Structure 1
Amino acid sequence: MALQLNLEKSARALRLSLDKAGIAHDVKAELIFDMDVSGSFEHEHEEGTTSQLIARLVPYGMELDPDGRIDVFTFSDGKHSVHHVGTVTPDDSEGYIVRNVIDQVPGWNGGTTYSYVLERNLQHFGWLPAEPERGGFLSRFFGVATDPVICARKRSIVIFVTDGENDPADHARTIKVLEESEQRGDQVYFLFMGACEHDVDFGFLRTLAARFKNTGVVIIRDLDSFVELSDDQLNAELLVPELLDWLKS
């Protein structure tokens, strides 16, 4: 119960920050949280730091998401590593990654490619047609085509957390996914969070943030300290000017 009360307090602090920035109470956006599960991030997952991070972001779902919850995806390298874990709410946010992700998701301890999870995010919120499920009896034995699934388009924010650089072989595909999204006018904002205390420049994330108006980047050099920030400090880090402009648009 203490966690619930703390999250409600954090949500009120977020609302105050949004008010100061001129964001109206009726401005809403569906939220996605993308979590890198590559091998280099294993320690942070197992010690619970990334669970603390997702708990700190739950107030953003409480305040901005129409249904008060955040969809959680995990990814490492390649299309088949992308996994929709489910949703996180105030009631089940404590230890979320430890309970639902470690050793339980496809691609656990893999490499790092960005484009496939970003593509899946756009499908999830209706900006791209979702691929039909494969492997059914008819499709296997008779080659029956199944139409793509079209979800309702939803204005959305993707919070994308990684501890490493994208595989260079995936750079062009990632840029293509974001470029085509921009050209379609998808109502999606991507907030990239590079979290690594080691010598990772996150140059590719910086390039994406500079190139596209609906992208921002936050670099975190000490994730343990970041998850301990006060509500006001955390909001100051995450509510980047581009995101605030996007919310007002």
Structure 2
Amino acid sequence: MGVISLQKLEQQAPEMVDLFKKTSICLDKVNLRDHRAQVALVLDISGSMSGLYQSGKVQELVKKVLALGLQFDLDGSIDVFAFGNYAYEVGTFTLENYKSCCQTVLSRHPLEGGTRYAQALRLIHDKYRDSTDPVYVAFFTDGETSEPELAEREIIAMSNARIFTSFVAIGQDIMPGEASAKKKKGFFGGLFSGFETDFKFLAKLDTLPGRTVDNAGFFAVADPAAIDDDKLFSLLMSEYPHWLVAAKQARIL
């Protein structure tokens, strides 16, 4: 079972029961049902995210990442961070307070003009560099960064830490591994031209050379509220199990 009983969940947060069951099924498929890790959520607070916050779609993502936290984290919690021009540690959210997550984020840190991944990655690295447990980071953004070189350096530096980052772009559908097709030329390369235009850098982070282990994954969804829950959880876990194996082989874990 996970870190919280189904009976307790039914009593405290019945709206989470279905998601909890779906995460259980997903984790069974990748043999991570009894896995323990800290879970962190990084939220883009650049101005272009305004509609996603107002529509409640970002709050739905909070709910779904918390479902992973209920399975992985001994406290059944997630640590939430936000970034735009700067990066901020917002706090820890559980069943008791997760519904106020987005309200808390935006009341403390109104939407900003930039999308600086490196600021957020550095904050995550500093927070968890001495963690004795694996750390799973879900990093949501709707745009490219203004400082790609700095973000690359952070990902390379983090490859020696017990941290895996799943980059999730919002705005179009790209499955794990598909973005590599952007390198192709000719007709079939043209079919994937949108990948290069919209999320070229995130795709690059997924295959970035110079790392001790592959510590990042990438996929994109057109609408985070429309994607099937089972599919989303499967995508979130598509590369993390491989990192666990590689990190153990490299004696990082």
Give TM-score, length-normalised by structure 1. Answer: 0.77
Q: Does 1:210 align with 2:207?
A: yes
1:180-228 per-residue CA deviation (whole Å, 9 max, x = no partner) reads 222xx211101001012597621100000012511001201122313xx
> What's the counterpart of residue 20 of structure 1?
29
Secondary structure in 2 aligned to 1:224?
A: coil
Gaps of 5+ in 2: 1-9, 174-193, 249-253
2:158 pairs with one of 178, 181, 205: 181
Report matched runs for 1:122-133 at 5 Å: 122-125=125-128, 127=129
Structure 1: gaps of 5 or more residues: 128-150
- Deviation digits for residues 30-86 of structure 1, max 9, x if unmatched? 111000000111111122110111112111000011221000001002xxx211111
Q: Is the 8 A contact 1:40 1:109 kept in 2?
A: no
Aligned counterparts of 1:24 and 1:6: Cα–Cα separation in 2: 21
The answer (yes or no) to whether the contact 1:160–1:193 under 8 Å persists in 2 is yes
Secondary structure of 2:32 counterpart: coil
CA contact (8 A) 2:172 2:220 kept: no
Pick closer, same or farther for the CA change 1:3–1:204 going to 2, 3 Å: farther
SS at match of 2:207: helix
Q: Normalized against structure 2, the TM-score is what?
A: 0.76
Task: State the secondary structure of the residue aligned to 2:23.
Answer: helix
Distance in 2 of aligned mates of 1:197 and 1:16 = 26
Aligned pairs for 1:100-179 (under 5 A) are 100-105=104-109, 108-125=111-128, 127=129, 152-167=131-146, 170-179=147-156
**What is the percent sequence identity of the aligned residues?**
24
Runs of at least 4 residues of structure 1 off by over 6 A? none
For residues 89-136 of structure 1, the C-alpha deviation after alignment (integer angstroms, 9 at most, x for no partner) is 122222521x2122431x6222111011111111111x1xxxxxxxxx
Q: Aligned residues, how many?
A: 211
Q: Aligned to 1:201, what secondary structure does the other structure show? A: helix
Q: For 1:155 and 1:181, how far apart are their aligned partners in 2?
A: 12
Residue 53 (structure 2) pairs with residue 56 (structure 1): no
